[in-house]
């Protein structure tokens, strides 16, 4: 049986990593989007759960030098270093991902606290 060339193996691995990374990104974006909706619905228990889930991911990113650990894994399989080399997102969104969703996460926390205190 012939083994595939090293490049084909690397491309397959990179595609798998990008797919997993994109799925994880979508999960955390869904959590961030749910926080203000849950707070508005006065489901502070679930809002706090989602805040905690995202906070764990923030800690992982901070500990990893402000990068997702999957970025380093993807880097093993390509020399490409565009903002979206490791995830299936448009380059502009990958480039400003932390700024956009970090701001939305912070706003969701503030809204949750404000609504909880104002019950």
- Give, in order, the Cα–Cα distances in Å from 111 to each of 15, 35, 100, 106, 116: 37, 9, 17, 9, 8
Domain extent, residue 64, equals 6-117
Domain presence at residue 100: yes
- Please count the structural domains in the chain: 1
Is residue 16 within 8 Å of 28, Cβ to Cβ? no
Residue 93 lies in a domain: yes
Question: What angle is formed at CA 58 by the lines to CA 56 and CA 61, rounded to 5 degrees?
Answer: 115
Residue 58 lies in a domain: yes
- For every one of its 119 residues, what pLDDT tens digit does the chain have, with 9 covering 90 and above? 565 677 777 789 999 999 999 999 999 999 999 999 999 999 999 999 999 999 999 999 999 999 999 999 999 999 999 999 999 999 999 999 999 999 999 999 999 999 999 97
pLDDT at 3 (0 to 100): 56
Residue with tokens 């104002």: 118
Q: What is the pTM of this model?
A: 0.90
Q: Residue written as tokens 């030098």?
A: 65
Residue 1, domain member (yes or no):
no
């Amino acid at each position: 049986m012939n083994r595939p060339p090293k490049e084909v193996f690397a491309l397959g691995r990179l595609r798998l990593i990008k797919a997993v990374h994109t799925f994880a990104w979508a999960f955390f974006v869904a959590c961030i989007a749910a926080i203000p909706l849950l707070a508005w619905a006065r489901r502070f228990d679930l809002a706090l759960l989602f805040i905690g889930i995202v906070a764990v991911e923030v800690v992982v990113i901070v500990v990893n030098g402000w990068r997702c650990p999957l970025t380093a894994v993807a880097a093993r399989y390509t020399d490409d270093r565009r903002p979206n080399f490791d995830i299936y997102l448009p380059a502009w969104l990958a480039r400003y991902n932390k700024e956009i969703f970090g701001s939305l996460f912070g706003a969701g926390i503030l809204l949750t606290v404000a609504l909880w205190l104002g019950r």
